[in-house]
Amino acid sequence: MMRPFLEECRRVTRSCIAAISKVVKRCIISCKAMIYALHPKARERVTQDKSVDSATRVSRIRKIYRARKTFVVVVSALLCVLILIVAVSAFTGISNRHRAASTRAQSAVSTSAASQSSTPTQTEESSASATQSSSGSSSVLTQQQRDNIAAQALKTAQASGKTLHQYRYCVSGKGNVGDTQVFENAVFSILNSTQGWPRAGATFEYIAHESSSSSSADSSTQCDMTLIMAEASTMKSFSDGCSEDYSCRVNDEVIINLDRWNSATSDWLNAGGTVERYRKLVINHEVGHRLGHLDNEATCSVSGGPAPVMQQQSISLRGCSPNEWPLDSELWIS
Ligand SMILES: [Zn+2]
């Protein structure tokens, strides 16, 4: 029973091999004929070959022309296919980029609307609109929400067992940054978060500028610090030590670079951070300076652990993971 089956297998294998080698041989012969036919002097050689009669010569010359024609057709077809592939992949690439851009825009808008910290979102129209357009009414905290956040912050500060510090802060803008109301809402939520500086005993009260009368000057003198949303090009006007690439703190001025607010930094994003988290980081870090902290006082205790908020995470994570809140070891105010 087994033997005939094996015999049959061998026979099929042999005929397969024979068929394949036949095809290969034919291919080789065709290639050789094609190469011969494509030679510029092929026709001349056939014409001068006196060993065959004229009918054979004519037949060979016809074969040469046929081979050349086939070659031209095949090459043209291949070129057409190649052009088609390039065109399709270019078109697919463009439509993917469009899709990705619109998805980003949509997610940015929904993030802004859903965000508890009510942070503004960059739009493509202009940098000024970053603090305006996507900040619909849902991005602005109600008085009730502000009261709740402030109450939680105070509770956290009291529970910390540390000396209580209440900071009054003002908010302003410099350059083409639009309305700063949404920025202020974000600042209020971030600074008074139960994950933030309240754990070191700090709470933050917003002192609003009055737009009329003499109280504008008065309110600024009441501020322990002013958080300024600044257009990148204005950063140097605060201090030579400030960079157009980053945010900065100069005495009681905490200056947030609009470009960084809108798009974070590539190091931060590459390490897995998001723009929304970066906004918390930059507020906590720069205000951390105002509370007495220095850059890079510490690094993460274990490789891959959360980076201290005072580490310059905008520049490098140094092997730590992105972190926007002060670590336990950073919970002090000088
Ligand atoms: Zn710093």
C-alpha to C-alpha distance for 188 and 118, rounded to whole angstroms: 10
> Among candidates 248, 197, 196, 195, which has minimal Cα distance to 226?
248
Q: Ligand 1: distance of its center to the CA of 295 in Å?
A: 5
Cα of 294 from ligand 1 centre, angstroms: 7
pLDDT at 128 over 60: no
Contact between 93 and 221 (Cβ < 8 Å) = no
CA of 143 to the centre of ligand 1 (A): 32
- Better-predicted residue by pLDDT, 161 or 104: 161
Helix axes 2-38, 54-114, angle to 10 degrees: 100
For tokens 């000024």, the residue is 128
pLDDT band with cut points at 50, 70 and 90 for residue 107: very low
Alpha carbon of 286 to ligand 1 centroid (Å):
6
Q: How far is the CA of 87 from the centre of ligand 1 (A)?
A: 48
Q: 57 pLDDT exceeds 70?
A: yes
CA of 69 to the centre of ligand 1 (A): 73
Q: How far is the CA of 35 from the centre of ligand 1 (A)?
A: 71
Q: How far, in Å, is the centroid of ligand 1 from the Cα of 278? A: 13
Residues in the chain: 334
This prediction has a pTM of 0.60
Burial letters 258-294, b for 16+ CB under 10 A, else e: bbbbbebbebbeebebebbbbbbbbbbbbbbbbbebe
Distance 258 CA to ligand 1 centre (A): 16
Tokens found for residue 77? 């077809």
pLDDT in tens, 289-311: 999 999 999 989 899 999 999 99
CA 283 to ligand 1 centroid distance, Å = 10
CA of 142 to the centre of ligand 1 (A): 32
Distance CA 283, CA 186 (A): 9
Q: What distance in angstroms lies between residue 310's CA and the mean position of ligand 1's atoms?
A: 6
Q: β-strand 253-257 against 248-250: which pairing, if any?
A: antiparallel
Strand partners, 36: none
For residue 288, the CA-to-ligand 1 centroid distance in Å is: 8
Q: Please check the confidence at residue 139 and state whether its pLDDT lies above 50.
A: yes
| CA dist., res. 225 & res. 191, Å (int) | 12
CATH architecture designation of domain 115-330: 3-Layer(aba) Sandwich (3.40)
Which of 69-78, 281-290, 322-331 has the lowest average pLDDT?
A: 69-78
pLDDT band at 247 (very low <50, low <70, confident <90, very high): very high
Burial 29-60 (b: 16+ CB within 10 A, else e): eeeeebeebeeeebbeebeeeeeeeeeebeeb
| Rounded distance from Cα 298 to ligand 1 centre (Å) | 12
- Cα–Cα distance for residue pair 288/259, rounded to 1 Å: 20
Contact 202, 192 (CB under 8 A): no
Cα 122 to ligand 1 centre (Å)? 23
Going from the Cα of 47 to the center of ligand 1, the distance in angstroms, rounded, reads 87
Q: Which residues contact 7 (CB under 8 A, 6 or more apart)?
A: none
